[in-house]
Amino acid sequence: MITIDGKQIKLQIWDTAGQESFRSITRSYYRGAAGALLVYDITQRHTFNHLTSWLEDARQHSTSNMVIMLIGNKCDLSARREVQKEEGEAFAREHGLIFMETSAKTAANVEEAFINTAREIYTKIQEGVFDPTNEVTGIKIGPQGSNSSGPSTRPNPSANTSSGCC
């Protein structure tokens, strides 16, 4: 649970591992998702090179308004960096994505990545882009009187696009 604008938001998260052998399964997770995190490993260029394919999959199998954040993981290993931060920023800008670098090992920016994705989804709800009464958007309003006083989002923030675990 996170709080955005005083509203409790519950995220439902799936980590699809980003492995090619699970690609068909991953596609089913995009349906009904309000958001996704596409993650590459900054120390392995090939994971960055596969982003276009994963992004095409995400966009093809989701709603057109799905919030997508691009994440360069392992920023704690800057000495082994193969993908420059500017490359990630440029890719995100070119494709209309949010961008951050994180470290799963040190937890740097990990929580912020989920919060920023949820905040963008919440903004789209407020602007009427997402209809919270239509579960196809991946959003579900919690029951009245529950701890969840705001929209409950069902993003797919951990759609990890690296070729293996980060």
pLDDT tens, per residue, the chain with 166 residues: 888 999 888 888 887 766 666 666 777 778 888 999 999 999 999 999 999 999 999 999 888 899 999 999 999 999 999 999 999 999 999 999 999 999 999 999 999 999 999 999 999 999 999 888 887 777 877 775 444 444 444 444 444 433 333 3
Number of helices followed by number of strands (H, E) in the chain: 5, 7
Report field, pTM of the whole predicted structure over 0.95: no
CATH of domain 2-153: 3.40.50.300
CA separation for the pair 43, 55 (Å, rounded) = 20
Tokens encoding 28: 């089913």
**Burial of 41 from C-beta contacts in 10 A (0-12 / 13-18 / 19+):** buried
CA separation for the pair 118, 76 (Å, rounded) = 24
12 Cα distance to chain centroid:
11
Query: Which regions of the chain does DSSP assign to beta strands (E)?
Result: 2-4, 7-9, 35-41, 67-73, 98-101, 139-141, 151-153
Residue 98 near residue 67, CB atoms below 8 Å: yes
CA 56-61-66 angle, to 5 degrees, is 85
Termini Cα distance of the chain: 24
